[in-house]
């Protein structure tokens, strides 16, 4: 079980964080792109059984994303109970999600309660990682590459977390977006779409939103803007660094200059 632990020096840990942040940002962008465009693109080029292709790719990338979340969590804690427990938890979420969205055969007769459990768990895990990442980003005395990539990772993860929350609201109250959205992939897609529309200040197109959805979207927009304000203020107030925390430069003493004393002439 040695692969579960991560004992690294400060410099090596910083490099590992940079790598993990880059990987997660890359997979976040890929998943967002797949969610927003893949189904229409496949339909446009005449693919048959479009949903099978979409669901298969989505499940694969979602599993990879969960693995990256766990890998990044190890950068912030050495508590083996948290490390092992989170790994088992994420594996369970992946199995339940794959069973619920199996593109070849539906394995869960009533997946609604399982989806609620999955999204609640993802909100908890991502929220925990966001807190740890923000604490790491706002620590130190310089702006380094890992902090910049971490800032992007947190912002995108915030959109995913609220997307899970909107999906839960739709599962608990169908029609809360003003339209009936089927349970499953379509519901999650609608939640993520609405979440990033809210963060980006873009009109989502949903009409007749329920009061709760509107209020949650206001909270998301407020938190997103506050995060950007504090982040920009933090970056502007710190010196830059090249891959490691900036160290104070050594001062070179200047030689004393000769003084002119009129009384000694």
What pLDDT digit, counting tens, does each position of 193-228 carry? 999 999 988 888 888 899 999 999 999 999 999 999
Confidence of residue 239 (pLDDT cuts 50, 70, 90): low
Q: How confident is the model at residue 12 (pLDDT cuts 50, 70, 90)?
A: confident
Tell me which of 48 and 92 has the higher pLDDT. 92
Residues 110-125 as b/e (b if ≥16 CB within 10 A, e otherwise) read ebeeebeebbebbbeb
pLDDT tens readout for residues 49-86: 676 777 788 888 888 999 999 988 888 887 888 888 98
Give the separation between CA 87 and CA 85, rounded to whole angstroms: 5
State yes or no: pLDDT of 3 exceeds 60. no
Question: Which pLDDT score, from 0 to 100, does residue 216 have?
Answer: 95
pLDDT > 70? residue 95: yes
How many CB atoms are located within 10 Å of the residue 194 CB? 27
Task: Give bridge partners of residue 240 from the DSSP assignment.
Answer: 143
Judge whether 159 and 202 are in contact, CB under 8 Å.
Answer: no
- Residues 6+ away with beta carbon under 8 Å from 3: none
Would you list the domain boundaries of the chain? Answer: 9-242
> What is the rounded average pLDDT of the residues 164-186?
90
For residues 212 and 169, the answer to whether their CB atoms sit within 8 Å is yes
Contacts 24+ apart (CB under 8 A), 47-52: 51/103, 51/185, 52/103, 52/104
Q: Is the pLDDT of residue 251 over 70?
A: no
Copy the structure tokens of residue 205: 């197109």
Length of the chain equals 265
Q: Confidence band (pLDDT; 50, 70, 90) for 26?
A: very high
At residue 102, what are phi and psi to the nearest 5 degrees?
A: -60, 120
Residue 102: is its pLDDT beyond 70? yes
pLDDT digits (tens, 9 = 90+) for 104-132: 777 777 888 999 999 999 999 999 999 99
Residue 246 has pLDDT above 50, yes or no: no
Which ranges constitute the DSSP H helices of 173-244?
185-200, 211-236
d(CA 81, CA 231): 32
């Amino acid at each position: 079980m040695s692969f579960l632990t991560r004992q690294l020096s400060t410099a090596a840990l910083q490099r590992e964080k940079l790598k993990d942040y880059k990987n997660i940002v890359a997979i976040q962008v890929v998943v967002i792109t797949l969610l927003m465009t893949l189904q229409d693109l496949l339909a446009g080029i005449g693919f048959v059984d479009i949903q099978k292709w979409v669901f298969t790719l989505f499940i694969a990338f979602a599993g990879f994303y969960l693995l990256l979340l766990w890998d990044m969590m190890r950068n912030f804690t050495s508590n083996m109970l948290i490390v092992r427990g989170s790994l088992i938890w994420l594996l369970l979420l992946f199995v339940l999600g794959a069973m619920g969205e199996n593109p070849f055969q539906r394995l869960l007769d009533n997946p609604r309660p399982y989806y609620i459990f999955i999204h609640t768990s993802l909100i908890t895990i991502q929220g925990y990682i966001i807190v740890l990442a923000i604490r790491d980003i706002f620590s130190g005395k310089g702006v380094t590459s890992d902090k910049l990539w971490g800032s992007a990772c947190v912002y995108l993860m915030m959109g995913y977390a609220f997307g899970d929350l909107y999906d839960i609201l739709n599962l608990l109250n169908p029609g809360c977006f003003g339209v009936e959205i089927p349970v499953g992939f379509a519901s999650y897609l609608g939640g993520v779409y609405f979440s990033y529309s809210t963060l980006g200040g873009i009109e989502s197109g949903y009409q007749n939103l329920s009061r709760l959805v509107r209020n949650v979207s206001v909270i998301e927009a407020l938190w997103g803007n506050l995060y950007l304000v504090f982040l920009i203020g933090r970056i502007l107030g710190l010196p830059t660094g090249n891959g490691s925390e900036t160290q104070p430069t050594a001062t070179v003493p200047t030689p004393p200059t000769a003084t002119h004393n009129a009384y000694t002439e």
